[in-house]
């Protein structure tokens, strides 16, 4: 999963990824409105990152500078990985198929009803431009399918574990990783865990989330929100009031599929041509967001 975005709270956004990029765009627009006297040239100087350049010396001792802002891919995927992985079109189709299989298997086991997320964007609006991490645009596109949500959630921890096992079984058929829980992969102090999830152990938590990884930066995030685990003050019910009013379920399983960057088939030849000059080079660190 990508490291350049912040994961939203469960059942508050139709996408696991991509929202921080739109926030960045909004921030830049706000900055432009706030400093009109500087002009566009000065504004570009304010927001342009330092160039990332690698000096290459050939067999004859001649030096060439590689400007990584011209790289067509992304800092977290090699060009070979992008070319070997599914195209954007294939990734979206396979992601939809995998999620549909998970929904069917979970419904059969737990008699679930799936509810459409709040309106706000077309189901076709699933791929978004991205940058390469070194100050230039990428030919890859970030993918975020609409979040799938149920109108109920299994109550016992054994049932939640069984649901995760089903998600893992379907993922394995598609060649994906085993599932993990966020709280185990990224442990945090009990006080923070209690505040963010409603419990200090998975079986006590109101919110349990985790994920699985696929090839070429693909990911799927799952979550359970179970208000029967809420404290006596109804802390999480209060937190969930606004999102419930917006059309999100509060007792729910959610599934969100996405990818950090997939290559549209129509851009493959251009990608290969532009990536050639970077062949054999170690990917440098990306700019900080």
Per-residue pLDDT reduced to its tens digit, 249-268: 999 999 999 999 999 999 99
State whether residue 72 is helix, strand or coil.
coil
- Token duo for residue 140: 């890859």
Residue 221 half-sphere exposure toward CB, CA atoms < 13 A? 25
- The answer to whether residue 180 scores a pLDDT higher than 80 is yes
Listed residue (25, 44, 59, 1) closest to 211, CA to CA = 1
**How far is residue 184's CA from residue 96's CA, in Å, rounded to a whole number?**
27
Mean per-residue pLDDT of the chain: 84
What tens digit of pLDDT does each residue of 38-54 get?
A: 333 334 434 556 789 98
Query: Is the pLDDT score of 155 beyond 70?
Result: yes
CATH of domain 87-266: 3.30.2030
> What is the three-class DSSP state of 152?
coil
Return the higher-pLDDT residue of 73 and 12: 73
Is 158 in a helix, a strand, or coil?
Answer: helix
Three-state SS at 259: strand
pLDDT in tens, 113-128: 999 888 765 566 899 9
Q: Contact, 95 vs 110, CB < 8 A?
A: no
Q: So what's the pLDDT on residue 289?
A: 58
Q: What is the pLDDT, as a whole number, of residue 41?
A: 37
Cα–Cα distance, 222 to 209 (Å, whole number): 6
Question: What is the C-alpha separation between 22 and 34, in angstroms, rounded?
Answer: 18
What is the pLDDT, as a whole number, of residue 124?
Answer: 66
């Amino acid at each position: 999963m990508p490291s350049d975005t912040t994961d939203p709270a469960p059942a508050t956004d139709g996408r696991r990824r991509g929202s921080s990029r739109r926030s960045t765009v909004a921030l830049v627009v706000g900055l432009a409105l706030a400093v009109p006297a500087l002009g566009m040239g000065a504004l570009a100087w304010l927001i342009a990152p330092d160039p990332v350049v690698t000096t290459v010396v050939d067999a004859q001792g001649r030096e060439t500078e590689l400007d990584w802002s011209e790289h067509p891919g992304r800092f977290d995927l090699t060009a070979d990985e992008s070319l070997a992985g599914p195209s954007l079109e294939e990734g979206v189709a396979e992601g939809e198929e995998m999620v549909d299989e998970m929904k069917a298997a979970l419904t059969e086991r737990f008699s679930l009803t799936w509810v459409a997320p709040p309106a706000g964007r077309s189901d076709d609006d699933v791929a978004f431009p991205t940058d390469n991490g070194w100050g230039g645009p990428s030919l890859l596109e970030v993918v975020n399918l609409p979040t799938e949500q149920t109108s109920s959630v299994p109550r016992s921890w054994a049932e939640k574990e069984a649901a995760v096992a089903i998600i893992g079984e379907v993922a394995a058929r598609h060649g994906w990783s085993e599932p993990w829980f966020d709280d185990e992969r990224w442990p945090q102090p009990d006080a923070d865990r209690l505040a963010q999830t409603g419990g200090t152990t998975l079986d006590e938590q109101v919110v349990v989330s985790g994920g699985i990884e696929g090839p070429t930066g693909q990911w799927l995030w799952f979550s359970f929100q179970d208000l029967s685990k809420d404290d006596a003050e109804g802390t999480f019910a209060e937190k969930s009031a606004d999102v419930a009013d917006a059309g999100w379920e509060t007792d729910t399983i959610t599934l969100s599929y996405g990818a950090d960057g997939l290559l549209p088939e129509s851009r493959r030849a251009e990608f290969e041509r532009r990536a050639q000059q970077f062949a054999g080079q170690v990917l440098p660190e990306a700019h900080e967001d």
